[in-house]
Amino acid sequence: MTYLIKGARPYGEAAADILVTDGRIAAIGESLSATGAQVVDAAGLIALPGLVDLHTHLREPGREDAETVETGSRAAALGGFTAVHAMANTDPVADTAGVVEQVWRLGQEAGLVDVVPVGAVTVGLEGERLAELGAMADSAARVRVFSDDGHCVADPALMRRALEYVKAFDGVVAQHAEEPRLTTGAQMHEGDRSARLGLTGWPAAAEEAIIARDVLLAGHVGARLHVCHVSTAGSVEILRWAKGRGVQVTAEVTPHHLLLTDACAESYDPVFKVNPPLRTDDDVAALRAGLADGTIDAVGTDHAPHAVEDKESEWAQARPGMLGLEQALSVVIETMVEPGRLDWRGVADRMSVRPAAIGRLDGHGRPLAVGEPANLLLLDPGARAVVDPAALASRSRNSPYAGRELPGRVVATFLRGTATVLDGEAVT
């Protein structure tokens, strides 16, 4: 299939036509024509490289009632993603070559995004002994990112070994930074609001202490560390310090931590329960600044679908997590682009180029240039819409943005030259 994209503005810059054929960008220029090509009118739309998510929960295998690889892939494509990293906390846990290959194959079959499995660091996410990291790296899934996400690799000796071990295949340990002894029973950010609401607090120090420890360890052994879902101003400072010292550390921030605060908990509606929890206005400001200056490398959605019964309950009984794939770009536009913190090249860098580099993905996060793989999205930046969870492609409905008007609409997504989304609808 050949597509002729007419009048799109790459990176929001001068309008050009983009010819896509054989999975690659064949030409970029004015007034291109091609016989037999399907023409996509992209006047006024912005073209960006396909987005890459370092942090997605697809729930398959185990909780197919909440999400499957296919439904999650569709949600990702609609959000402008061409690759997502599928977290390991499935049932069974993705801690063997067999499970990661199964997830990888399901992604290939769905064919809407590249589903890149993340391998568990420890067997069963139990934090006691290393999973077969090398076997997962050597499998068809070619795992490079390892994480016990949902759990912290709390044992410092084990964390050191994991950081060292994955150097052999250029892997990276993505840490869920949460000191478990400081967050027993924790329900929300510890501060003024938790004190009043009577919900057990999750102190910022529980995240910062682990990040501080891990950057020291990564520096000591010369390994790559990635920090998942950074949520506090203090974490940003520690990362800035570590990067200044040359530690190979990268970090991600979620869309919801860029937009929402612990004020949301006042409703006691568990749709706002997430781990790490929503923080304060000051934290949100620091995260935005950190993403703008590159201290935080990437946006990672932490897309976490949950079945209705796991959210329509008391706050303490509800599972933490919120949907993110379909609104991630909109939230970044709202919090970063419209206030002038990032331009469109910056968005491409934080949502495509750097996450692809952290995950060592070939073919993603590449520039919009002739000869490159045709992984790209077309965005209508002026569109605004109110989020309706019932209209989402995800199998779950736990969107924290329900009823909120957000800017930007993904009109089309192309994965290696094949349209996965056209006219804002998934192509199946």
| Residue numbering of the annotated binding site for Zn(2+) | 55, 57, 149, 176, 229, 302
Nearest distance in Å: CB 267, another protein: 7
Q: Does 195 bind another protein (CB under 8 A)?
A: yes
Q: Does 197 bind another protein (CB under 8 A)?
A: yes
Out of 267, 281, 388, 425, the residue judged to bind another protein by CB under 8 A: 267
Q: Does 423 bind another protein (CB under 8 A)?
A: no
Secondary structure class of 414 (helix, strand, coil):
strand
Out of 33, 38, 108, 313, the residue judged to bind another protein by CB under 8 A: 313
Angstrom distance (rounded) from CA 115 to CA 54: 10
Contact residues for 157 (Cβ-Cβ < 8 A; gap 6+) = none
> Are the C-beta atoms of 118 and 145 separated by less than 8 Å?
yes
Q: Nearest Cα to 239, choosing from 216, 206, 205?
A: 216
Identify which of residues 11 and 315 has a Cβ nearer to another protein in the complex. Answer: 315
Q: Which stretch binds another protein (CB under 8 A): 30-38, 116-124, 309-317, 320-328?
A: 309-317
Whose tokens are 């846990």? That residue is 93
Q: Does 389 bind another protein (CB under 8 A)?
A: no
Nearest distance in Å: CB 209, another protein: 15
Identify which of residues 179 and 269 has a Cβ nearer to another protein in the complex. Answer: 269
Residues touching another protein, count (CB under 8 A): 24
Rounded alpha-carbon distances, angstroms, from residue 19 to 6, 49, 367: 9, 14, 15
Out of 201, 255, 277, 305, the residue judged to bind another protein by CB under 8 A: 201
Q: Does 2 bind another protein (CB under 8 A)?
A: no
Out of 128, 309, 405, 425, the residue judged to bind another protein by CB under 8 A: 309
Q: Does 190 bind another protein (CB under 8 A)?
A: yes
Identify which of residues 38 and 267 has a Cβ nearer to another protein in the complex. Answer: 267
Give a three-class secondary structure readout of 64-111: CCCCCHHHHHHHHHHCCEEEEEECCCCCCCCCCHHHHHHHHHHHHHHC
Specify which residues 48 forms β-bridges with.
377
Longest dimension (CA), the chain: 67
Helix ranges (H only) for 305-414 are: 308-311, 328-332, 344-348, 354-358
Q: Does 268 bind another protein (CB under 8 A)?
A: yes
Identify which of residues 16 and 66 has a Cβ nearer to another protein in the complex. Answer: 66
Out of 199, 227, 230, 247, the residue judged to bind another protein by CB under 8 A: 199
Out of 196, 222, 391, 428, the residue judged to bind another protein by CB under 8 A: 196
Q: Does 264 bind another protein (CB under 8 A)?
A: no
Angstrom distance (rounded) from CA 137 to CA 166: 9
End-to-end Cα, the chain, rounded Å: 15
Out of 22, 91, 192, 405, the residue judged to bind another protein by CB under 8 A: 192
Angstrom distance (rounded) from CA 141 to CA 116: 7
Residue ranges in 128-187 that form contacts with another protein under rule CB under 8 A: 187
Identify which of residues 101 and 312 has a Cβ nearer to another protein in the complex. Answer: 312
Based on the residue annotation, tell me whether 302 is a catalytic residue of this protein. Answer: yes
> Are the C-beta atoms of 239 and 249 separated by less than 8 Å?
yes
Identify which of residues 122 and 396 has a Cβ nearer to another protein in the complex. Answer: 396
Q: Which helix (H) or strand (E) holds 281?
A: helix 281-293
* Known binding positions for substrate: 57-59, 89, 275, 306, 320-321
Rounded alpha-carbon distances, angstroms, from residue 142 to 101, 124, 314, 351: 9, 20, 40, 21
Nearest distance in Å: CB 313, another protein: 6
Identify which of residues 123 and 402 has a Cβ nearer to another protein in the complex. Answer: 402
Specify which residues 318 forms β-bridges with.
none
> Are the C-beta atoms of 210 and 178 separated by less than 8 Å?
yes
Nearest distance in Å: CB 268, another protein: 3
* Known binding positions: 55, 57-59, 89, 149, 176, 229, 275, 302, 306, 320-321
Q: Which of 302, 310, 343, 349 is catalytic?
A: 302
Angstrom distance (rounded) from CA 114 to CA 96: 20
Q: Does 370 bind another protein (CB under 8 A)?
A: no
Task: Report residue 317 as tokens.
Answer: 């009984």
Letter for the amino acid at 61?
P
Q: Does 314 bind another protein (CB under 8 A)?
A: yes
Identify which of residues 34 and 307 has a Cβ nearer to another protein in the complex. Answer: 307
> Are the C-beta atoms of 8 and 368 separated by less than 8 Å?
no
Catalytic residue list: 302
The contact set with another protein (CB under 8 A) reads 187, 190-201, 203, 267-269, 309, 312-317
